[in-house]
Structure 1
Amino acid sequence: MNTPIKKKSHFSLLLLWLFLLIVLFFISINAGYTDIPMKDILRILGGGGSTNENLVVFEFRLPRIIISILVGIGFSLSGCVLQGITRNPLADPGLMGINAGAGIVVVIFMTLSGTISLLGVMALPIFSFLGALLTSALLYIISTKKGYGLAPTRLILNGVAIQAGINSMMTIIVLQLDDTQYDFLAIWQAGSIYNSNWKLVLALFPWIVFGMIYLFFKSRELDLLMVGDELASGLGVAVTKEKKGLLFVAVALSAASVTVSGSLHFVGLLGPHLARRIVGARHQILLPFCAITGAILVLAADTIGRTIVAPSVIPAGIIAAILGAPYFIYLMIGNSRTKKEVRK
């Protein structure tokens, strides 16, 4: 008797969250150096804007907003999947070094190419994905204990170590660049929706859409993996195969997002946790809620960064880190307390 009410409640929450994202979308279009009154935004979006208005909205702000939404979805869904398959609430593509693995490939690619053509933009997510995949494979190997499987705590610690090492390598590379390349990559490394354009939207869009579709079809498998490998296997889940497929997609979502935004730390951690607190752990509703939550977080962080010290811009990654770092510390403390209670 309670299930339909619960489903209806979840659907209402999802609509409310979507409405919040739409409101934030219009606020973000209005935010910036050139003020556009709210009453004029619909006119401009409907094709009635002047040349200057169209330039500001369609060439500068709209690509940046869409990329913020796509990046938020990518990082948040990636974190949700990683937390599910590792059963570790601290799992996050940034903390696990996946973003850094993708990032160093992007830095090398940009350094060697100088300028990026449309073909280069479309190929960049593929190269970053390969870098992230190699990092994930290394992390998996060194975090697996023979006879015990994957150790969740070791996974996070090794991920932080790999991330630190790769970030140091990226810093060395960036320091060798000329001023123009250095400025661009320094801002990119800080996690900025910077130099956004429709080519980048086109490059990122298919990765996020296909990743979302795959994960929504795998929501049942994610639910079963959360309760343990043995029970999931007993219920007919091919555990190893499903984990590899889900990890593959989580890495792809994160790597594609890194190519256009740099590493937005803690979005993959904060998005899933906020969504899970509101709608619970059932992935059929958690995944869409998680996607919208991530989009709201990144779009809000970018909008705040563009307006709080205007005309200067604070990278969205810094705003996200200010929000996410305290929550990560809170989770670490809570995780330590839980382990002590279990031991007692």
Structure 2
Amino acid sequence: MIILISLTFGAFYLHITNGSFDMTVLEVIKTFLRIDPNEKFDLVIFDFRLPRIILAILVGIGLGIAGAVLQGVTKNGLADPGILGINAGAGAAIVIFMFFFQITLKSVSMSSNLSIMMMPFFGFVGGTLAAALIFLFSFKNQRIDMQRLILTGIAINSGFGALSMYISLKMNPQDFEMAAVWMAGSIYSANWIYVWSILPWIILFSFIIYRKAYLLDYFQLEEDSIKSLGIAIEREKKLLLLASVGLISACVSVSGSIGFIGLMAPHIARQLVGIHHRYVIPVSAAVGMLLLVFSDFIGKTVFAPSELAVGVVVSIIGIPYFLFLLVKSKN
């Protein structure tokens, strides 16, 4: 954890000092400590870079923890919020919200801040619907069939993705451009309202999941063995899944669909600390945080002055890793 947090601070340093307007460490420290305050530095740090970095940290934590829960509950190392279609379900609900309700909210003089605060709730509804459909069609002989789970997840992902695209094509050109960038997975337009809108969700659901982390160890056993221990397996699974869907929905509401963080972070965590989930979950959060902050820095700087969506950068890293895990699981 110390190493991962140190690496994240390194990525934080690179992110906050580099960009279209470079700053020195001394200038950043002076700005934070309010020594000789400069309006230009204040604008760059407090309005643009700092909320973006903090949002990347929160989204990375949420997706890392959610991925660990999904892999633990399904006993499938290839389970991921993006692959299973939960991202797509939450994303489709938020695109529908953008299309149908955001204009209504503005027309009755409610601030856009309220719209942003409401987005995680709509994402939660869509993510829960996607998860319910996936698990409904994955049951075979009163148990979840892992092969069906992945296949159903891919189908749900495609279906909700097509719905999102159809709705976005009905938008006016300006709103479509915003929706298209958002769906690619981007946090470049981050602000403090985005941070405050997901912070309660991340804190609440992360706390619930960590309190229940020991159950994920038991879930690796056969179901009959778990029941013999007196654990209400279906109730606990539903609680953990709802908590993970809450995390995913909050993250998707502010960053769009960023895949593969939930796949890679738990695998890397298990390589570092073993299989006990009371260690895997916090390390997955730290790995997800590091991956997303560093990926966003890469997306911001490699093609400067243009920017590459962080979801694209993560996919460039994640697709080879997914194929590696797929080949490894066959051996």
Tell me, yes or no, whether TM beats 0.5: yes
8 A contact 1:188–1:194 mirrored in 2: no
Which 5+ residue runs of structure 1 have no aligned equivalent? 1-13, 338-344
**AA aligned opposite 2:151:** L
- Given the superposition, is the C-alpha separation of residues 236 and 47 from structure 1 closer, same or farther in structure 2, using an over 3 Å criterion? farther
Match of 1:254 in 2: 248
> Structure 2: how far apart are the matches of 1:91 and 1:156?
7
> Structure 2: how far apart are the matches of 1:322 and 1:271?
15
Match of 1:80 in 2: 68
> Structure 2: how far apart are the matches of 1:324 and 1:229?
32
**AA aligned opposite 1:23:** G
Match of 1:340 in 2: none
**AA aligned opposite 1:224:** Y
**Shift of residue 228 of structure 1?**
2.9
- Count of matched residue positions in the alignment of Structure 1 and Structure 2: 323
> Structure 2: how far apart are the matches of 1:243 and 1:83?
12
Are 1:221 and 2:193 an aligned pair? no
> Structure 1: how far apart are the matches of 2:22 and 2:11?
16
Match of 1:38 in 2: 25
> Structure 2: how far apart are the matches of 1:326 and 1:35?
33
Match of 1:94 among 62, 75, 82: 82
Q: Secondary structure at the match of 1:226?
A: coil
CA deviation map 1:58-94 (0-9, x unaligned):
0101111011010111111111000001000000011
> Structure 2 matches for 1:143-222, cutoff 5 A?
143-147=138-142, 149-222=143-216
Of 209-218 and 79-88, the range deviating more from structure 2: 209-218
Q: Secondary structure at the match of 2:219?
A: helix
Match of 1:117 in 2: 112
**Shift of residue 285 of structure 1?**
1.2
Q: TM-score, normalised by structure 2?
A: 0.95
Over the residues paired in the alignment, what is the CA RMSD in angstroms? Answer: 1.2
> Structure 2: how far apart are the matches of 1:316 and 1:245?
30
Which 5+ residue runs of structure 2 have no aligned equivalent? none
CA deviation map 1:277-334 (0-9, x unaligned):
1111111111111101001111111110000011100000001001110111111122
4+ residue stretches of structure 1 with deviation over 3 A?
Answer: none
**Shift of residue 47 of structure 1?**
2.4
Match of 2:55 among 62, 67, 74: 67
> Structure 2: how far apart are the matches of 1:281 and 1:46?
42
Identity of matched residues, % = 39
Match of 1:47 in 2: 34
> Structure 1: how far apart are the matches of 2:25 and 2:227?
54
Q: TM-score, normalised by structure 1?
A: 0.91
Q: Secondary structure at the match of 1:273?
A: helix
